[in-house]
Amino acid sequence: MGYSGFGIIKEGLFGQKGWKPLWRDPAPKARYDAIIIGGGGHGLATAYYLAREHGLTNIAVLEKGHIGSGNIGRNTTIVRANYFLPGNQEFYSHSLKLWEGMERELNYNVMHSQRGLINLFHSDGQRDAFVRRGNAMINQGDDAILLDRDGVRSHLPYLDFDNARFPIYGGLYHPRGGTARHDAVAWGYARGADQRGVDLIQNCEVTGIDIENGVVTGVQTTRGPIKARKVGIVTAGRSGQVAAMAGMRLPIESHVLQAFVTEGLKPVIDHVVSFGMGHFYISQSDKGGLVFGGDLDFYASYAARGNLPMKEHVMEAAMTLMPMIGKARVLRSWGGIMDMTPDGSPIIDTTPTKGLFIDCGWCYGGFKAVPASGFAFAHLMATGQPHATAAKFRLDRFRTGVGLMDEEGTGSQHNLH
């Protein structure tokens, strides 16, 4: 059923009895045309676009827990297209365009809010690096504005312009950047896929990948074997374990990234703001909580929880940059498992096994990539050819050194991106 303001009023008057389930809970069939392993944002979007763009509807998404229980349900919700290296540029630019049409497309309000993103810089060198980035964004057809100190002050008067250890020189303003309600993105794609006939199968853990003569034939699951000629792995931090079922060793190390939310507050931060001299980024949710994060805890982990040193570092960064939020109280912190690659950029590619595809390596930037990743991975799975916007996300780029996309310039150490 379609959602609308009219529907809200009608159901409000009649006791909300008419709302239908967002998705069915079908039993897994014995065979599908394609299987997506992983019911997170990327997996659900892949299923949606397979159905919508390629007419593939006899497909299933297999999710070990509940839909959206991975990083789509635990991120800091930032949506942006501010990359500067070929490969990333066109991909994230495409993704932002998909975001801009997502709500009408899915008939689901994911609260995509283009409130503007400001990356602050604190030295001439940082400014020049951001200028290179901003110019790349404009070359790509996206938006970027260079703010000087006064320009930043006009947007973010609450920053500490007088005493901060690293003075604010200016910022790179990306007006189309913003946030979205993360869970809603999973639910919107899930509902859209389900409406097109995709089976979303929860509590179904894949325990093996069946391969005969180098060709994938299906998967083993906790709910029995399921046949399929095409299988896509979209399992983020767990990519290593799932790929190992197909005998693959990935260029990925899994790390924990923490995030934080404060108690609800009246509007105080209107943009997404990031600090340039320590890892700290913040926005305020529509509910009023300040949502912020920092860098990885830096050690390999699957624990989905972090430790105090990084928590403290992030709060210290908050205090040096915007001490006016000192009296905001953090009510919850959590961790997500990040699939870190050696250049900080993702992988959307075929594998040595025919019919087996992989979409992984989103590091900690996967949320904003959800629509374009689903779009490109669906294209790859349906046609066997990479989509033009994701053609550089090759698995073998590390071996060959061709087309590395190391935006941070930190090299092949996984946790530094």
Partner 1 sequence: MRIECPHCGERDRREFYYVGDAVALARPAPDAGPDAWDDYLHNRDNPAGDTNDLWYHEGGCGAWIVVSRNTVTHAVHRTKLAQKAAS
Partner 2 sequence: MRLRNPGQTVTFTFDGKPVQGVPGEPVAAALLANGIRLMGRSFKYHRPRGVMTAGSEEPNALVTVGRGAAQDPNIRATVLEVSDGLEVFSQNAWPSLRHDALAVNDLLSPFLGAGFYYKTFMWPASFWEKLYEPVIRRAAGLGRLSGQASADCYEKAFAFCDLLVIGAGPAGLMAALTAGRAGVDVILADEDSAMGGRLLREVEDVDGRPAAAWVADVLAQLRALPNVRLMPRTTVTGAYDQGTYGALERVAAAGAPVECFWRIVAKRSVLCAGALERPIAFPDNDRPGIMLAGAVRAYVNRWGVAPGRSVTVFGNNDDAHRTARDLAAAGIKIAGLIDARPDVQVTADYPVFTGGSVTATAGRRGLSSITVAHQGGTRVIQTDCLAISGGWNPSVHLTCHMNGRPRWRDDIAAFVPTPDAIPGMAVAGACNGVFETAGCLREGAEVAAAIARDLGFTAEVTLPVAEARAYAIAPLWEIPGKGRKWVDFQNDVTTKDIALSAQENMRSVEHMKRYTTQGMAPDQGKSSNVLALAVLADLTGRGIPETGTTTFRPPFVPVGIAAMGAGGQGKGFAPTRLMTSHHATVAARAPMIEAGLWYRPSYFPLEGEVSWRQSCDREVGYARNAVGVCDVSTLGKIDVQGPDAAALLDFVYTNRMSTLKMGRVRYGLMLREDGFVMDDGTAARLGPDHFVITTTTAAAGQVMRHMEFASQVLRPDLDARVLSVTDHWAQFAVAGPRAQVLLNTVLDDQISNEDWPFMACGTVGIGGVTGRLFRISFSGETAFEIAVPARYGESLFRQLVAQARTLGGGPYGMEALNVLRIEKGLLTHAELHGRTTAFDLGLAGMVSAQKDCIGQAAASRPGLVDPARERLVGLRAVEEGRRLTAGAHLFAKDAKAVTANDQGYVTSACYSPTLDCYLGLAFLKNGPDRHGEVIRMVDHLRGVDTLAEVCHPVFFDPEGGRARG
Q: Which residues bind partner 1 (CB under 8 A)?
A: 238, 240-241, 249-254, 298-303, 307, 309, 342, 398-400, 412-415
Chain positions 264 to 303 lying near partner 2, rule: CB under 8 A, are 264-268, 277-278, 284, 286-288, 303
What single string gives the DSSP state of each residue in 32-91? EEEEEE--SHHHHHHHHHHHHHH---SEEEE-SSSTT-SGGGSS--EE-----STTHHHH
Q: Which amino acid is at 53?
A: E
CB closer to partner 1, 230 vs 238: 238
Encoded tokens for 274? 């990031």
Q: What are phi and psi of 34, to 5 degrees?
A: -150, 150
Cβ-proximal residues to 37 (8 Å cutoff; 6+ apart), any chain: 43, 62, 206, 219, 231, 232, 233, 234, 235, 242
How many residues of this chain interact with partner 2, rule: CB under 8 A? 125
Piece of the chain touching partner 2 by CB under 8 A; list 207-215, 236-244, 361-369, 393-401: 393-401
Residue 353 near which of partner 1, partner 2, none (CB within 5-8 Å, type-dependent): none
Chain positions 187 to 246 lying near partner 2, rule: CB under 8 A, are 187-188, 202
Q: Is residue 138 involved in binding partner 2 (CB under 8 A)?
A: yes
In the complex, what is the shortest distance from the CB of residue 381 to partner 2, in angstroms, rounded to a whole number? 26
Residue 240 near which of partner 2, partner 1, none (CB within 5-8 Å, type-dependent): partner 1
CB closer to partner 1, 9 vs 303: 303
Chain positions 27 to 86 lying near partner 2, rule: CB under 8 A, are 65-69, 73, 86
Encoded tokens for 225? 């074997």
CB closer to partner 1, 167 vs 309: 309
The answer to whether 146 and 120 are in contact (CB under 8 A) is: no
In the complex, what is the shortest distance from the CB of residue 66 to partner 1, in angstroms, rounded to a whole number? 20
Q: Is residue 111 involved in binding partner 2 (CB under 8 A)?
A: yes
Encoded tokens for 113? 């809010």
* Per-position b or e across 75-106, b if 16+ CB within 10 A of its CB: bbbbbbbbbbbebbbbbbbbbbbbbeebbebb
Encoded tokens for 38? 């992983």
Q: What is the C-alpha to C-alpha distance for residues 355 and 189, in angstroms, rounded to an integer?
A: 24
Q: Is residue 163 involved in binding partner 2 (CB under 8 A)?
A: yes
In the complex, what is the shortest distance from the CB of residue 1 to partner 2, in angstroms, rounded to a whole number? 10
Which single residue is written with the structure tokens 């908050």?
A: 318
Residue 241 near which of partner 2, partner 1, none (CB within 5-8 Å, type-dependent): partner 1
Q: What is the C-alpha to C-alpha distance for residues 122 and 247, in angstroms, rounded to an integer?
A: 46
The answer to whether 232 and 35 are in contact (CB under 8 A) is: yes
In the complex, what is the shortest distance from the CB of residue 233 to partner 1, in angstroms, rounded to a whole number? 14
Q: Is residue 135 involved in binding partner 2 (CB under 8 A)?
A: yes
Q: Is residue 174 involved in binding partner 2 (CB under 8 A)?
A: no
Cβ-proximal residues to 326 (8 Å cutoff; 6+ apart), any chain: 318, 319
Q: Which of 23, 6, 1, 33 is nearest to 232 (CA)?
A: 33
- Separation of CA 10 from chain center: 35
CB closer to partner 2, 262 vs 373: 262
Residue 388 near which of partner 1, partner 2, none (CB within 5-8 Å, type-dependent): none
Q: What is the C-alpha to C-alpha distance for residues 237 and 68, in angstroms, rounded to an integer?
A: 14
Residue 27 near which of partner 1, partner 2, none (CB within 5-8 Å, type-dependent): none
In the complex, what is the shortest distance from the CB of residue 299 to partner 1, in angstroms, rounded to a whole number? 5
In the complex, what is the shortest distance from the CB of residue 303 to partner 2, in angstroms, rounded to a whole number? 7
* CA dist 54 → 34, 58, 186, 379 (Å): 12, 11, 20, 8
In the complex, what is the shortest distance from the CB of residue 310 to partner 1, in angstroms, rounded to a whole number? 9
Piece of the chain touching partner 2 by CB under 8 A; list 27-35, 231-239, 352-360, 407-415: 407-415
The answer to whether 368 and 80 are in contact (CB under 8 A) is: yes
Q: Is residue 26 involved in binding partner 2 (CB under 8 A)?
A: no
Residue 299 near which of partner 2, partner 1, none (CB within 5-8 Å, type-dependent): partner 1
**Cα three-residue angle 235-106-41, rounded to 5 degrees:** 10
Per CB under 8 A, the list member of 326, 384, 385, 388 interacting with partner 2 is: 326
CB closer to partner 1, 38 vs 192: 38
Question: Which alpha helices (H) appear in 15-87, and where do they start and end?
Answer: 41-54
Piece of the chain touching partner 2 by CB under 8 A; list 48-56, 210-218, 316-324, 369-377: 316-324
